[in-house]
Structures are given as structure tokens and as C-alpha cells.
């Protein structure tokens, strides 16, 4: 476990953190939920919203940057699925299934309510981790992640 923790920390420190970790500090204090459970509940929805932004508005605004991040998502998709032809969507779906198959509870089970979203988004946007997200996300996109993670 110590070695896994070390590898995880090294990976996160070098790859930058994003919306999942940007939310986790705020939600951990609000919900008193385990950090790993918060991150796992958010991960598939963060990927979904990020990919949507990369293929949508951000892709139109900065196609070169969007391509870099979408290529990274595709590399992850091919790695986790074992399919050399896997698409970005295949990878996101794999993550969605993994979280479901592992029985990760939604954030609503820890007490998160939609009435908390404004406060959570406001506080989380200030975190250094959120600034490392591949795409700058709007409040509505961030609330969509939270809603999906309920």
C-alpha cells in the first residue's frame, strides 16, 4: 500500500491535478467523506464533462490544445480497455463501469445536496488543483459534474 501511495503521489504531482481533486478538499470538509470515495465518485463525470468541453466550445477556441488533451484521453482509453482502437468515449465508459462495478457510492449518499452546489463550486474554483484541469470550466459545467456524481 505504501508503494501504491508513493506511485500515485508521484503520478499526480507530475501530471497536474484537476477538477476531481479541486472538488475533493471542499467536499471532504463539507461531507466528512473519505477522500478516495469522493475522487472515485467524481472521476467518470469529470472525464465526461472535460471531454465534452474539449470536443465542444474549447475545441473551437483552441483546437491544438484540445487535440493534445483528447490524444491523452485516447491513450488512457486504449490502455485501460486493452483495445488499440478504443476511442475517448470507450475509455470514459470503461471508467464509468469500473466505478459502478466497484460499488462507489454517489456523493448524495454522503449528504451532498444541490443546494450545496453554489458554495462548493465557489470554494473549489479557488483551489490550485482546479487550476490544473485540462479545460477551464464554467460554474454550470462544474455543477453538472456534481449533479452527475450525486
Q: All domains of the chain, ordered by start, with CATH?
A: 2-149 (1.20.1090.10)
pTM higher than the cut 0.85: yes
d(CA 120, CA 27): 7
Q: Does 10 or 96 have the greater pLDDT score?
A: 96
Lowest mean pLDDT among 7-11, 68-72, 120-124: 7-11
d(CA 80, CA 77): 5
In contact, 24 and 35? CB cutoff 8 Å: yes
d(CA 112, CA 28): 11
89-111 per-position pLDDT tens digit: 999 999 999 999 999 999 999 99
115-129 burial, b if ≥16 CB within 10 A, otherwise e?
ebbeebbebbbebeb
Cell reading at 93 = 465508459
CA 54 to chain centre: 14
Mean pLDDT, residues 5-28 taken together: 83
Cell reading at 108 = 448524495
> CA torsion sign, 15 to 19 to 22 to 28?
negative
d(CA 40, CA 149): 9
What does the mean pLDDT of the chain come to? 93
Amino acid at each position: 500500500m505504501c508503494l501504491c501511495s508513493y506511485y500515485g503521489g508521484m503520478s499526480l504531482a507530475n501530471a497536474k491535478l484537476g477538477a476531481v481533486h479541486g472538488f475533493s478538499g471542499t467536499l471532504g470538509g463539507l461531507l466528512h467523506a473519505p477522500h478516495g470515495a469522493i475522487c472515485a465518485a467524481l472521476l467518470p463525470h469529470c472525464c465526461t464533462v472535460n471531454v465534452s468541453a474539449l470536443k465542444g466550445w474549447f475545441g473551437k477556441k483552441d483546437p491544438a490544445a484540445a487535440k493534445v488533451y483528447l490524444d491523452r484521453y485516447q491513450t488512457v482509453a486504449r490502455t485501460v480497455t486493452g483495445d488499440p482502437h478504443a476511442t475517448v468515449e470507450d475509455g470514459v465508459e470503461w471508467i464509468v463501469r469500473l466505478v459502478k462495478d466497484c460499488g462507489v457510492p454517489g456523493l448524495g449518499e454522503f449528504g451532498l445536496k444541490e443546494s450545496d452546489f453554489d458554495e462548493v463550486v465557489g470554494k473549489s474554483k479557488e483551489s490550485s488543483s482546479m487550476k490544473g484541469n485540462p479545460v477551464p470550466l464554467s460554474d454550470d459545467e462544474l455543477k453538472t459534474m456534481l449533479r452527475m456524481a450525486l
